[in-house]
């Protein structure tokens, strides 16, 4: 949670909203990081050769889910839709708990869980941050989003710790029940945050003035149309696409190494959870002690560019010394940079767009574009493997994607600064 220095950036009328946001982020990421190692364990059971097929199924599922979400958003007011989505996901988790208890070794069930979680996890995080950028303005986000993300980082430490401690006693289905309890608490906190948004508008003129007591306009395809019409949205999509290419390179490396070196699902889950724990401790440290100050001093553009620069260095180091230790180190650097730097910095960029874009085009970027990056990178790596390039080709793909990512990050940062100046001028007039 906030350090004394960072706490001064939270104004008295913002405290309740920030505390609720931090708690919701904490519980959501805690539940996420109980489910994630279970998903990644399933991947090691199914094998790295099946990942391109799983990624393809995930992409198709994400496109369909995004269209359904957008259609619902035009029919159900946001005060009901946002908690309602989490009620639906809670029911899904409880259903998988029953099914895994009945048939834990079923390969179709394992594949189904992998695809379900890979679709759902992005929606969970996207919906939460859509609400955050609809509660806090750009000036508030620069001060507060690192703190809110830090709450999530602490949750992402708690989740792996619980999994590490309980997986052998409770088993796969038991951990699903723990995650379900966390999602139930998230629903309660979402209702409280929605109520606090109204209070914050009365008390703080900086807060976003949009309301949640209505459905959105348009239809199921509006998010895709908004994306194609806006250069700013396209730069956000390019940033996500290239980030996921980098992520998938590292994920393939991790899955292959764990499958070849560790036997047994429980031991693999513990190994993956331990990586999560190291990553999340480092992420929390960066968010609590560094990112907020960095963004306030150097700006959002500098924060966006920092992540690709770190990854270029990490991939080059792996190319020079392609050992297990270096592959693990690459994974740690990649994920710390994404969660501690890229995520909160990128979310700030959505505070300067209209409400429709915060829930529609943002969702398409966060889910469909993200999963398109996954599936395209997965098949590219499968192609490289098939012609014998192996680790060298994978590392080269990672370096190239990181260089392009840095260029897009610069464009996105400049677009954000331009839109923020425009908003400031309009508010000033």
DSSP 300-311: HHHHHHHHHHHH
Of 32-41, 241-250, 281-290, 295-304, which range is least confident?
281-290
Evaluate whether residue 395 is within a structural domain.
Answer: yes
Residue 388 in any domain: the answer is yes
In a domain, 213, yes or no: no
Residue 429 located in a structural domain: no
First to last CA, the chain: 37
Name the phi and psi angles at 106, rounded to 5.
Answer: -70, 120
- As a residue count, the chain comes to 429
4 has a pLDDT exceeding 60: no
> Where does the pLDDT of residue 21 fall: very low under 50, low under 70, confident under 90, or very high at 90 and above?
very high
Report how far Cα 109 is from the mean position of its chain's Cα atoms: 24
Structure tokens, 328:
């693990």
For residues 203-227, one letter each, b for 16 or more C-beta atoms within 10 angstroms of the residue's C-beta and e for the rest, the string is: bbebbbeeebeeebebebebbbebb
pLDDT, position 22: 94
pLDDT band at 429, cuts 50/70/90? very low
Position of tokens 């941050």? Answer: 129
**Whether residue 201 has pLDDT greater than 80:** no
Longest CA pairwise span in the chain (Å)? 65
Average the pLDDT over 101-112 and give the result. Answer: 81
Identify the domain containing residue 144 by its residue range.
4-208+219-420
Report the CATH number at residue 70.
Answer: 1.20.1250.20
Q: What is the mean pLDDT of residues 259-281?
A: 67
DSSP count for the chain of H helices, then E strands: 17, 0
Number of domains in the chain: 1
Higher-pLDDT residue of 271, 316: 316
Residues 6+ apart with CB under 8 A from 318: 326, 327, 329, 330, 395, 398
294-350 pLDDT, tens per residue? 666 777 888 889 888 888 888 788 777 766 667 677 777 777 877 777 778 888 888
pLDDT: is 113 or 386 the higher one?
A: 113
Measured CA distances, 266 to 62, 105, 253, 316, 391 (Å): 29, 13, 20, 33, 27
Please determine, for residue 3, whether its predicted confidence score (pLDDT) is greater than 50. no
- Is position 303 within any domain? yes
SS (H, E, C) 229-248: HCHHHHHHHHHHHHHHHHHH
In angstroms, rounded to a whole number, what is the distance separating the alpha carbons of residues 166 and 175?
7
> Roughly what angle, to the nearest 10 degrees, separates helices 107-135 and 78-102?
160
Structure tokens given for 210: 């949009």
Identify whether 127 is part of a domain. yes
Computed over every residue of the chain, the mean pLDDT equals 81
Q: What is the predicted pLDDT for the residue at 7?
A: 44
Q: Can you tell me the mean pLDDT for 60-74? A: 89
Torsion angle of the four alpha carbons 271, 274, 278, 280, in this order, in degrees rounded to the nearest 10: 120
- Distance, in Å, from the CA atom of 102 to the CA atom of 380, rounded to the nearest integer, reads 37
- The DSSP call for residue 367 is I
Q: Which residue has the higher pLDDT, 357 or 253?
A: 357
| Residue 261 within a domain | yes
pLDDT of residue 19: 94
Handedness of CA 232, 352, 142, 415 (dihedral sign): positive
pTM for this prediction: 0.78
Q: Is 187's pLDDT higher than 90?
A: yes
Strand, helix or coil at 204?
coil
Q: What is the mean pLDDT of residues 186-194?
A: 95
Helix (H) or strand (E) holding 291: none
Contact indicator for 132, 140 with CB cutoff of 8 Å: no
Within a domain: 426: no
Instruction: Choose from 41-45, 51-55, 412-416 the range with maximum mean pLDDT.
Output: 412-416
* Distance between CA atoms of residues 144 and 213, nearest Å: 25
Q: Is the pLDDT assigned to residue 292 strictly greater than 80?
A: no
pLDDT for res 264: 61
pLDDT tens for 123-150 read 899 899 999 989 988 888 888 888 898 8
Between CA 243 and CA 346 the distance in angstroms is 11
State yes or no: pLDDT of 380 exceeds 70. yes
Q: How many CA atoms lie within 13 A of 191 on its CB side?
A: 10
Tokens found for residue 318: 């792996």
Contact call for residues 384 and 282 (beta carbons, < 8 A) = no
């Amino acid at each position: 949670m906030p350090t004394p220095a960072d706490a001064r950036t939270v104004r008295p009328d913002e405290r309740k909203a920030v505390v609720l946001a931090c708690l919701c982020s904490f519980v959501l990421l805690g539940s996420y990081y109980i489910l994630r190692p279970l998903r990644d364990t399933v991947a090691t059971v199914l094998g790295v050769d099946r990942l391109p097929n799983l990624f393809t199924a995930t992409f198709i599922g994400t496109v369909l889910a995004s269209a359904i979400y957008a259609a619902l958003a035009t029919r159900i007011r946001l005060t009901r839709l946002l908690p309602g989505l989490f009620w639906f996901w809670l029911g899904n988790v409880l259903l998988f708990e029953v099914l895994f208890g009945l048939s834990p070794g079923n390969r179709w069930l394992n594949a189904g869980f992998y695809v379900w979680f890979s679709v759902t996890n992005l929606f969970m995080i996207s919906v939460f941050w859509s609400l955050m950028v609809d509660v806090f303005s750009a000036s508030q986000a620069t001060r507060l989003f690192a703190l809110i993300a830090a709450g999530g980082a602490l949750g992402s430490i708690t989740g792996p710790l619980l999994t590490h401690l309980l997986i052998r006693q409770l088993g796969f289905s038991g951990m699903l029940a723990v995650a379900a309890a966390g999602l139930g608490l998230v629903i309660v906190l979402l209702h409280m945050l929605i109520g606090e948004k109204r209070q914050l508008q009365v008390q703080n003129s900086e807060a976003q003035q949009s309301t949640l007591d209505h459905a959105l306009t348009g239809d199921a395809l509006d998010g895709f149309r908004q994306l194609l019409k806006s250069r700013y949205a396209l730069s956000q999509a390019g940033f996500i696409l290239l980030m996921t290419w980098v992520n998938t390179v590292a994920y393939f490396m991790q899955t292959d190494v764990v499958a070849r070196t560790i036997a047994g699902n429980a031991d693999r889950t513990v190994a993956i959870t331990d990586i999560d724990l190291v990553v999340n401790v480092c992420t929390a440290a960066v968010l609590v002690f560094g990112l907020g100050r960095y963004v306030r001093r150097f700006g959002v553009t500098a924060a966006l560019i920092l992540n690709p620069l770190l990854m270029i260095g990490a991939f080059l180091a792996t190319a020079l010394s392609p050992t297990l230790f270096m592959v693990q180190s690459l994974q740690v650097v990649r994920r710390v940079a994404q969660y501690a730097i890229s995520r909160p910095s990128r979310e700030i960029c959505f505070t300067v767009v209209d409400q429709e874009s915060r829930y529609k085009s943002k969702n398409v970027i966060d889910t469909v574009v993200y999963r398109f990056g996954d599936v395209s990178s997965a098949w590219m790596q499968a192609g490289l493997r098939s012609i014998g390039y192996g680790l060298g080709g994978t590392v080269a793909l990672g370096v190239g994607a990181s260089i392009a990512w840095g260029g897009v990050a610069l464009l996105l940062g400049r677009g954000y600064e331009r839109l923020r100046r425009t908003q400031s001028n309009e508010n000033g007039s």
